[in-house]
């Protein structure tokens, strides 16, 4: 049986902006020579930041000073408390907030990210609470890059010609509480 396809369907198919890989972005990472990798980003309501990429951290993290800016701009909502573990093994109870969005390397937007909040001066971490929204993802070492899926476009009003943020050098990391 011969079936005809509507010419309108073909026009729609040919002009559709949605393709299987259109939401996949490769973002460059930088290293400071210590086998740690960073991605430049922008936190909506706070500004530019550099994130340590940590696939072993259950949560992304921000500092208290970043949280103050986010709350002032209406871009952070309290979620819960969790037990955080520092790099030296010490534990502390930290709040978790949901932040509006993070733009990674001016290419990939991740929305509604849960972040653990650590003391001022700690590095921001891109952990699994953000990376799991961008699955499947790959972490390549040569050249250092992340290939991220499910990226959305850059929101209107985000300046992509920003200065590059400094990378703080602290030893804090966050992990999930056992329960």
pLDDT in tens, 48-60: 999 999 998 899 9
pLDDT at position 175 is 38
**Res. 149 pLDDT band, cuts 50 70 90:** very high
Half-sphere exposure of 143 (CA within 13 A, CB side): 5
For the cut 50, the answer to whether the pLDDT of residue 176 exceeds it is: no
Mean pLDDT of the chain, nearest integer? 78
Across residues 123-150, what is the average pLDDT? Answer: 94
Higher pLDDT, 8 or 71: 71
Entry pTM: 0.74
b (16+ CB within 10 A) / e for 106-142: bbbbbeebbbbbbeeebbbbbbbbbbebbeebeeeee
For the cut 70, the answer to whether the pLDDT of residue 137 exceeds it is: yes
Domains within the chain, CATH numbers bracketed: 40-148 (2.40.70.10)
Spatial contact of 137 and 146, defined as CB atoms under 8 Å apart: yes
Report the sign of the C-alpha dihedral through residues 145, 146, 152, 156, in that order. negative
Report the sign of the C-alpha dihedral through residues 104, 123, 100, 137, in that order. positive
Helix (H, G, I), strand (E, B) or coil at 14: helix
Residue 33 burial (C-beta neighbours within 10 Å; 0-12, 13-18, 19+): exposed
**Res. 154 pLDDT band, cuts 50 70 90:** low
Higher pLDDT, 160 or 70: 70
Across residues 10-30, what is the average pLDDT? Answer: 57
Q: Note the helical H segments in the chain.
A: 7-15, 64-72, 128-131
**Res. 23 pLDDT band, cuts 50 70 90:** confident
Spatial contact of 96 and 114, defined as CB atoms under 8 Å apart: yes
């Amino acid at each position: 049986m011969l079936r005809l396809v509507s010419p309108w369907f073909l026009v729609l198919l040919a002009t559709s902006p949605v393709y299987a890989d259109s939401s996949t972005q490769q973002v460059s990472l930088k290293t400071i020579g210590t086998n740690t990798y960073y991605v430049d980003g922008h936190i909506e309501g706070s500004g530019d930041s550099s994130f340590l990429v940590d696939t072993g951290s259950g949560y992304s993290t921000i500092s208290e000073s970043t949280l103050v800016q986010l709350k002032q701009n209406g871009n952070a909502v309290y979620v819960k408390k969790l037990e955080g573990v520092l790099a030296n093994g010490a534990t502390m109870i930290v709040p978790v907030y949901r932040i509006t969005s993070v733009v990674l390397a001016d290419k990939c937007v991740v929305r509604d990210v849960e972040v653990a909040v650590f003391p001022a001066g700690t590095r921001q971490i891109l952990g699994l609470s953000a990376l799991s929204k961008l699955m499947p993802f790959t972490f390549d070492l040569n050249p250092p890059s992340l290939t991220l899926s499910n990226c959305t476009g850059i929101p209107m009003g985000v300046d992509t010609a920003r200065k590059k943020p400094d990378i703080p050098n602290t030893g804090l990391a966050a992990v999930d509480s056992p329960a």
